[in-house]
Amino acid sequence: MKNRKKKTGFIALCVTPAIVLFIIFMIIPTIDVFRMSMYKWGGYTADKTFVGMENFSKLFTNPKFYQAFQNSILLIVIVTLVTFCLALVFAAILSREKIKGQNFFRIVFYIPNILSVVVISAIFSAIYDPNQGLLNSFLSLFRGEADPILWLGGQKLVIYSVTIAMIWQAVGYYMVMYMASMANVPDSLYESAALEGAGRISQFFSITLPLVWTNIRTTLTFFIISTINMSFLMVKAMTNGGPDGASSVFLSYMYQEAYTNSSYGYGMAIGVMVFLFSFALAGVLNAVTKREEIEF
């Protein structure tokens, strides 16, 4: 009996601090996001008025929301596709081919992942600078002294410039992840495939890809979550949504509404939409990719 009491005490002592912190700083704020989305609230004053779904209906008639929505989807699609392909190809090369300096390449490719997003944003601001930027001065070798390209200043171009920075940041991370699961594919499979005359490319599609498919499926969810997240961090530090909202994304729009315009309720409604959207998208992707797993 005494022992039992001791055990309960030990358990309580160990988990309570973690649970308390988790409730205060994660669970309550998450519930707050949903709750506040139904209030009209300026923030610093105490008067909140319950408005039900009004914030949401305002949201759906606001072109700025659609702009952020559109940009986010564009980023999710392009960044996921390009990063995915590059990461997969480089992972296959580094784990299947005999490469001199294999370790060196792996180390270098992962570097962007350890840098702060602020650092990456500053680096890309230097690259994209219209007058003294690395990119324009490199391009002037080919196009001469034509008008400088405004990588971050052009309404149309800016979102693609952000895309490139995000891909630059993400490739190494996913590559290392795919390499790890490719290392588990037994060599004997490749050997027998080679004996039957399968070339590199067909080996990749008939052995590597099916066998790392589970891992790929998990990373697809990561792609959605982290692209929504990273695009916010990147845009906030690099363009702050500009010029004129042309590069605003889900969460940067939310942050802007909450702080700059002090409409917290409205901002949280955006948060709820993003929440639901990302879960729905992850669910759909999961369902779509599940069928294909039967292939092997």
Partner 1 sequence: MRKDEKNGGNPKLVKVFIYLMLILLAVTILVPVAWVFVASIKENSEFYGNPWTLPQGFHFQNFVDAWQKANMGEYMLNSVIVTALALALLIVIALPAAYVLARFRFKGRAIWNTLFMAGLFINVNYIVVPIFLMLNDGDMFLRKMFGSPFFLNNLFVLALVYAATALPFTIYLLSGYFKSLARDYEEAAYVDGAGYFYTMVKVIIPMAKPSVVTVILFNFLAFWNEYIISMTLLTKAELKTLPVGLMNLMAAQKSAVQYGQLYAGLVIVMLPTLILYMCVQKKLTQGMTLGGLKG
Region 171-190 residues binding partner 1, contact defined as CB under 8 A = 171-173, 176-177, 180-181
Q: Are 247 and 241 in contact (CB under 8 A)?
A: yes
Q: Which is nearer to partner 1, 164 or 294 (CB)?
A: 164
For residue 159, give the 3-state DSSP assignment.
Answer: helix
- d(Cα 293, Cα 177) in Å, to the nearest integer? 19
By the 10 Å C-beta count (0-12 exposed, 13-18 middle, 19+ buried), 25 is classed as: exposed
- Residue in 63, 197, 291, 295 binding partner 1, rule: CB under 8 A: 197
CB of 56 to partner 1, least distance (A): 16
3-state SS assignment for residue 49: strand
In angstroms, what is the minimal distance from the CB of 159 to partner 1? 19
Smallest gap from Cβ 33 to partner 1, in A, equals 6
Of 24 and 288, nearer to partner 1 (C-beta) is 24
Work out whether 66 is an interface residue with partner 1 (CB under 8 A).
no
Secondary structure class of 240 (helix, strand, coil): coil
Amino acid at 46: A
| Angstrom distance (rounded) from CA 74 to CA 94 | 30
Number of residues that bind partner 1 (CB under 8 A): 97
Phi, psi of 281 (to 5 degrees): -65, -45
Nearer to partner 1, 132 or 291 (CB): 132
Does residue number 25 form part of the binding site for partner 1 (CB under 8 A)? Answer: yes
Task: Say if CB 279 and CB 189 are below 8 A apart.
Answer: no
> Which one, 53 or 225, has the nearer CB to partner 1?
225
Question: By the 8 A CB rule, do 207 and 95 touch?
Answer: no
Site for partner 1 in 228-267 (CB under 8 A): 228-230, 232-233, 236-237, 251, 254-255, 258-259, 264, 267
Q: Give the x-and-dash track for 113-152 against partner 1 (CB under 8 A).
A: -xxxxxx-xxxxxxx-x--xxx--xx--------------
The angle formed by the CA atoms of residues 121, 122 and 127, to the nearest 5 degrees, is 95
Question: CB of 252 within 8 A of CB of 232?
Answer: yes
Q: What 3-state DSSP class applies to 193?
A: helix
Question: Least distance (Å) from partner 1 to the CB of residue 51?
Answer: 17
Q: For partner 1, which residue of 53, 85, 146, 194 counts as binding (CB under 8 A)?
A: 194
Residues between 89 and 108 that touch partner 1 (CB under 8 A): 89-90, 93-94, 97, 99, 104-108
- Closest to partner 1 by CB, 139 vs 294, is 139
116: tokens are: 């702060």
Q: Which is nearer to partner 1, 246 or 269 (CB)?
A: 269
CB of 156 to partner 1, least distance (A): 22
